[in-house]
């Protein structure tokens, strides 16, 4: 009887996995706000209110220069938005924030109002990883916020495995690393050994402000200010923490899968 009731209940619930990326992405929570946009043309001469308001030193404005906002160091507290008298910094509500180069996370100046989103891997690497990507997650001194949002992708609502992406327990079974945390000195050797244990060719994904630029701990002697100081990074996903949708978009963008998934008769599971 118990098994019978369980099966009936499961049939009534149906498929609870979201259709994205076949359909429109789910909306971000209002408090999240998505990526930021910087319109330096609206900045008043000599104004540096946003610079003074940033608790993490993510905004700079050299004398006589334009505002530069580093989303790699940004913790998305929105203090700069409230401090800017000209409204030059705004939220876009856009979940897409993953980039391939560290410098692509710096906004400000003509043509740099918004992010230059990540391009896919080259054809050879896409041929190797595009349909089956195994990642070893390394928490290198993180607070568990980025780790939690990464874990969410494995739940029934997101079902990361439908894209052929899985997290594995051993780096020897992995195609790359997904790193969170500022890489504390105590995790430095562990990260290097884990990276070396992954067979070549391999990829590295840095998730969150800490893994990209040190986050709130930047400049402290106990951390390495992110993963890039120790291992080459192929994909940067900013946020504090990034929304699961932002992480998923970055991974699919890296694999060149956003134009493929969802085309088959199986809905969101089609195209695999």
pLDDT tens, residue by residue, 143-184: 999 999 999 999 988 999 999 999 999 999 999 999 999 999
| Structure token digits, residue 34 | 């998505």
Measure Cα distances from 158 to 18, 79, 147 in Å: 6, 31, 15
Distance in Å from the first CA to the final CA of the chain: 36
- Angle in degrees, CA 101, 182, 94, rounded to 5: 50
d(CA 24, CA 116): 21
pLDDT surpassing 80 at residue 132: yes
- Using only the alpha carbons of the chain, give its radius of gyration: 20
d(CA 109, CA 181): 30
Query: Across residues 72-92, what is the average pLDDT?
Result: 93
pLDDT surpassing 90 at residue 272: no
Could you tell me which CATH number the domain at 123-269 has? 3.40.50.12280
| Structure token digits, residue 137 | 């997650």
- In three state form, how does the secondary structure of 125-145 look? HHHHHCCCEEEEEEECCCCCH
d(CA 153, CA 249): 11
The reported pTM is 0.89
pLDDT surpassing 50 at residue 65: yes
Contacts of residue 38, Cβ cutoff 8 Å, sequence gap at least 6: 67, 69, 88, 89, 107, 108, 112, 113
**Backbone angles phi and psi of 51, in degrees to 5:** -60, -45
* E strand spans, 9-79: 36-38, 59-60, 68-70
Contacts of residue 89, Cβ cutoff 8 Å, sequence gap at least 6: 36, 37, 38, 39, 50, 67, 69, 80, 81
167 or 267: which leads in pLDDT:
167
Domain chopping of the chain, boundaries: 123-269
Summary mean pLDDT of the chain: 89
Count CB-CB contacts under 10 A for residue 117: 16
């Amino acid at each position: 009887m118990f098994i019978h009731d369980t099966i009936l209940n499961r049939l009534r619930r149906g498929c609870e996995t979201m259709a994205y990326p076949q359909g429109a992405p789910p909306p971000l929570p209002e408090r999240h706000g998505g990526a930021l946009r910087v319109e330096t043309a609206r900045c008043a001469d000599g104004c540096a209110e946003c610079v003074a308001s940033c608790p993490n030193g993510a905004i700079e404005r050299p004398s006589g220069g334009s505002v530069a906002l580093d989303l790699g160091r940004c913790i998305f507290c929105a203090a700069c938005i409230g401090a800017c008298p000209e409204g030059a910094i705004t939220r876009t509500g856009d979940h897409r924030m993953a980039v391939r180069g560290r410098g692509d996370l710096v906004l400000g100046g003509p043509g740099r109002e918004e992010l230059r989103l990540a391009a896919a891997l080259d054809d050879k690497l896409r041929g190797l990883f595009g349909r089956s990507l195994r990642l070893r997650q390394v928490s290198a001194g993180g607070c568990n916020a980025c780790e939690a949002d990464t874990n969410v992708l494995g739940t029934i609502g997101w079902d990361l495995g439908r894209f052929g992406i899985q997290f594995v327990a051993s780096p020897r079974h992995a195609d790359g690393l997904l790193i969170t945390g500022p890489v504390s000195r105590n995790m430095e050797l562990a990260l290097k050994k884990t990276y070396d244990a992954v067979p070549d060719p391999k990829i590295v994904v840095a998730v969150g402000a800490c893994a990209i630029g040190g986050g709130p701990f930047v400049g402290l002697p106990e951390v390495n200010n992110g993963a890039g100081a120790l291992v080459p990074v192929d994909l940067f996903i900013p946020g504090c923490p990034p929304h699961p949708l932002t992480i998923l978009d970055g991974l699919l963008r890296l694999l060149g899968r956003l134009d493929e998934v969802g085309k088959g008769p199986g809905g969101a599971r089609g195209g695999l």
